[in-house]
Amino acid sequence: MERKVIFRDRQEYQAADANNMQDFTDESLQSILKNAISKENKIAGMLVTAKSATEITVAAGKLLIGSAGKIYSLDSSQDISLFSYLPVIDKKYISVCAFGVEEDIDIQARDFIIDLQTEVTEPREVAMEQKRAVTLYIIAGTESSDPQKPSIPTGYTKRADILLTTSGIDTIVMNTDVDLPNLNEVNSDVSSLKQWRSATEPIISTLSTDVSALASRLSSIKDHNQAVRELASDIARLKEISNLPDSYSSYGADYFLNDDESDIQNANYDAKTEEGIRFPDAASDNNALSLFNQYEPQVYKSEQDGFIMPTFEHNKRISLTGYAGEIAISQYQSQSHNFNKSKMGRERQKYGPLRILSSSALHWRTGAFDHLNTLVFNGEIFSPSPDDLTFFYRKPGLHIDKIIPPYFEQIANQTTIIGSQIAQTFLSSQHGYLTKIGLHFTKKDTDGLVYIHICETKNGVPDLSKTLAEASLSPSLLKIYPEETSFVLPKPVFLKAGKRYALVITTTGDHRVAVVSGSVYLQGTLFYSSDGEYYAGDLTKDLMVNLYFAKFNASFAQVNLTPISLSGGIADLNLLASVIKPESTEFFLEYQYNSKWWPLSPDTADNLKSLPALLPLRAVFVGSEDVMPAIELSNSQLSYSRPKTSFKHISIERTLPAPKTDIEVSVLLENYDDAKHGCSLKLLVGQNEVSPGSVIDTEIASKTIRRKAAFSFDPAISAYKVIVEGTTNDASDVFVVSERIDVAL
Domains located in the chain, CATH noted: 38-179 (no CATH), 242-280+646-744 (2.60.120), 283-310+554-642 (2.60.120)
| pLDDT tens sequence across 470-495 | 999 999 999 999 999 999 999 999 99
pLDDT digits (tens, 9 = 90+) for 720-744: 999 999 999 999 999 999 999 998 8
Euclidean distance between CA atoms 307 and 303, whole angstroms? 7
Percent of the chain with pLDDT over 90: 62
Q: Note every long-range contact of 146-155, with CB atoms under 8 Å and residues 24 or more positions apart, other chains counting.
A: 147/90, 147/91, 147/92, 147/93, 148/93, 149/93, 149/95, 150/93, 150/94, 150/95, 151/474, 151/476, 151/477, 152/95, 152/97, 155/99
pLDDT at 220: 52
pLDDT at 133 over 60: yes
* Collapsed DSSP state (helix, strand, coil) of residue 648: strand
Residue 196 has pLDDT above 80, yes or no: no
pLDDT at 436 over 60: yes
Peptide bond into 181 cis (omega under 30): no
pLDDT level of residue 157 (50, 70, 90 thresholds): very high
Q: Are strands 704-728 and 677-685 parallel, antiparallel or unpaired?
A: antiparallel
Does the pLDDT at position 245 exceed 50?
Answer: no
* 237 confidence band (pLDDT: 50, 70, 90): very low
User: Which comes out higher in pLDDT, residue 15 or 369?
Assistant: 15
Split at pLDDT 50, 70, 90, the class of 570 is very high
Average pLDDT score over residue span 97-112: 90
Predicted pLDDT of residue 664: 94
Which of the listed ranges 36-50, 124-138, 669-683 does the model predict with the highest average pLDDT? Answer: 669-683
Residue 208 pLDDT exceeds 90? no
For residue 602, pLDDT over 90 is answered with yes
Given a cut of 70, whether residue 126 has pLDDT beyond it is yes
Q: How far apart are CA 538 and CA 527, in angstroms?
A: 6
Q: Could you tell me the pLDDT band of residue 227, with boundaries at 50, 70 and 90?
A: very low
Residue 68 has pLDDT above 50, yes or no: yes
Q: Is the pLDDT of residue 412 over 70?
A: no
Average pLDDT over residues 568-592: 94
Mean pLDDT, residues 522-551: 84
- Our CA angle for 386, 253, 360, nearest 5°, is 55
pLDDT digits (tens, 9 = 90+) for 606-643: 999 999 999 999 999 999 999 999 999 999 999 999 99
Distances (CA, A) of 95 to 101, 152, 159, 479: 19, 8, 7, 19
Q: What is the mean pLDDT of residues 531-560?
A: 88
The residue-averaged pLDDT of 418-433 equals 93
Residues 355, 573: Cα–Cα separation, whole Å: 10
Instruction: List phi, psi (to 5°) of 620.
Output: -120, 125
**Average pLDDT, stretch 346-360?**
93
Q: Is the pLDDT of residue 280 over 60?
A: yes
264 and 270 Cβ atoms separated by less than 8 Å: no
Using one digit for the tens of pLDDT, what is the confidence trace for 504-527?
999 999 999 999 987 666 788 899
Strand extents, DSSP E, 623-734: 630-643, 646-650, 654-670, 677-685, 688-690, 694-701, 704-728
Q: Span 253-264, mean pLDDT?
A: 92
Specify the pLDDT at position 532: 59
Of 436, 511, 496, nearest in space to 466 by CA: 496
| Amino acid letter for position 423 | A
Work out the mean pLDDT of the chain and round it to a whole number.
87
The whole-number average pLDDT for the span 527-553 is 85
CB atoms within 10 A of CB 220: 10
Sign of the torsion angle spanned by Cα atoms 235, 237, 238, 240:
positive
The residue that leads in pLDDT, 247 or 211, is 211
pLDDT of residue 83: 92
- Please give the residue that has the higher pLDDT: either 30 or 546: 546
Predicted confidence at residue 26, as pLDDT, reads 82
- Cα dist from 388 to 64, 427, 463, 612, whole Å: 52, 22, 16, 37
Which of the pair, 452 or 246, is modelled with greater confidence?
A: 452
Please give the residue that has the higher pLDDT: either 223 or 172.
172
Check whether 213 has a pLDDT greater than 70: no
Out of 42-56, 388-402, 540-554, 698-712, pick the least confident. Answer: 388-402
User: At residue 219, does pLDDT exceed 60?
Assistant: no
Residues in the chain: 745
Cα–Cα distance between 389 and 226 in angstroms, integer? Answer: 11
Phi/psi of residue 195, each to 5°? -65, -45
Q: Which of the residue ranges 336-340, 531-535, 554-558, 667-671 would you say has the lowest mean pLDDT?
A: 531-535
